[in-house]
Amino acid sequence: MHVYALVGPSGTGKSHRAIRLAAELHCQVIIDDGLIIEENRILAGTTAKRSSTRMGAIKTALFQEQEHRDEAVQALSRCAPKGILILGTSEGMVEKIAARLELPAIEKIVYIHDIASSNEIRKARYNRAHHGRHVVPAPALEVTRNWTDALINPVKVFFQKKGSERKTWAEQSVVRPTFTSLGNLSISTPAIVAGITHQVQEVPGVGDVGSISISHGDDGVTVRLPITAVYGQPLHVLGRKVQRLAFDILENMGISVLAVDVTIEKLLVK
């Protein structure tokens, strides 16, 4: 089994390009937003786009619920695909999904900027921000069986498989998720800082957390996290642990992370 991933910030058009990329990589299955999709069938899963909140959507996309995860694992075992394409907003996210579903390590990560132009990405972001439009890489019939109130319209995607002269098409569905009707959810920087500070302070070996700074960019955030370490332990191990924790906190909030820079500024002797 070969496992690949398509990574890009939310709303940049990953799902729209998933079918074409899956065909090029010879992947029979796409894993997107909590769904296991085989060609034109939804084999298993619950779409994150049905969640009532963005936080719930993130948990669904990561298969955090045990029943959801088990259903997906069983479906993958039954169809035994030779290739799988996982969609996600970061490398960490797609790696988590692969691990959660007990898949082999990801062989190659394709980034949305590699297969879409800046203009196409801007257009996708505009449609997401202003119209609440999301794409499910599955036919309208499959989507409406369990989600009749969200469908906007189906769209056909034309492409040509590698090694074939014949062009083919696949149907995708444009939907408006439940949570878009509630407006946009934003998490303030002080709330993010408070969440990171509280959890990092609980890490064994951390004596104190300094003033955290967060820089926002177009593709994500960069965090600078100063800490005081308790003397008498491997500092590089502690730093990595804190870095990983902060990254996971942000990712679980649905925030794309560019970097987490941990600085050990002081040593505390107890």
Asked whether the CA dihedral 254, 148, 28, 20 is positive or negative, the reply is negative
pLDDT score recorded for residue 215? 86
Topology given in CATH for the domain delimited by 189-268: Alpha-Beta Plaits (3.30.70)
Q: What is the arithmetic mean of pLDDT over 236-241?
A: 93
Q: 146: alpha, beta or left, given left = phi > 0 and alpha = psi -120 to 50?
A: alpha
Mean pLDDT of the chain: 78
Residue 98 above 90 pLDDT?
yes
The 3-class SS string of 215-226 reads EEECCEEEEEEE
Q: Where are the domains of the chain?
A: 2-180, 189-268
Question: Pseudo-torsion of CA 195, 201, 204, 208, nearest 10°?
Answer: 150
Q: What is the pTM of this model?
A: 0.56
Burial 47-77 (b: 16+ CB within 10 A, else e): bbbbbeebeebbbbbbbeeeebbebbbebbe
The 10s digit of each residue's pLDDT in 249-264 is: 887 766 778 889 999 9
Q: State both tokens at 208.
A: 């104190």
Angle 235-252/189-200 helices, nearest 10 degrees?
Answer: 140
d(CA 35, CA 85): 12
Mean pLDDT of 106-124: 87
Q: Which of 218, 247, 262 is nearest to 90 (CA)?
A: 247
At 24-79, the pLDDT tens digits run: 899 999 998 888 888 767 788 776 655 656 677 778 888 888 998 999 999 999 98
More confidently predicted of 113 and 143: 113
Confidence of residue 132 (pLDDT cuts 50, 70, 90): low
Share of the chain above pLDDT 90, in %: 34
pLDDT value of residue 52: 56
- Residue 105: which of 18, 29, 4, 22 has the closest Cα? 4
